[in-house]
Amino acid sequence: MTDPRPEGAEPTSFLELLAVHARIYEQFVDHQEALVARDFGRALERLVAVRAAFEEHVRGEEELLHELFARTDEVRGTPLDLFTSEHRHLREGLARFEAATRRLDPASPAAARHVIELLDDEALFKAFFRHHDERERNLLYPAFDRSVPAPERRERLQRFHQGLPPRK
């Protein structure tokens, strides 16, 4: 996981993890710009990068979720699978978009129509992604910040950014 903080800066909040969401969203928009430009090779390349970044982020995030969720009083009434099913739904969308992007043929007379259909499907994905981001921004990560002591929070965030599993 790439650490978004300046070199030497200590991680202080789980909300820092949302910087990854912003980068993924921007990469996704780059993919869409390439679709509109009919540069299907670049669109696919950008989408593959989005999927890889999303998978890496979700892997680390779900490790955090499973361990911290049960001990965080403020989110106990919220089912954990709400977040993990959102991740699954987003993964499925990205896989579907990659398959559709691979099928695009710039020589096809229907290419413009296929791009429009793909962009329509992707618009729903983007709205859902923003909703997921807001749920984590407003509920999950603030609750973790309040319930996890600062030294443990720093250690967990450092390990997350280094791609290491949390210590038990």
The DSSP line for 13-31 is: -GGGGHHHHHHHHHHHHHH
Residue 13 structure tokens = 């909040």
Residue 11 or residue 100, greater confidence: 100
Is the alpha carbon torsion for 152, 153, 157, 163 positive or negative? Answer: positive
Residue 61: the pLDDT is: 85
* Contact status, residue 161 vs residue 11, Cβ threshold 8 Å: yes
**Structure confidence by residue, pLDDT tens digits, 106-163:** 999 999 999 999 999 999 999 999 999 998 899 888 988 988 899 989 888 888 777 6
Q: Which residue has the tokens 């210590």?
A: 167
Domain residue spans in the chain? 14-159
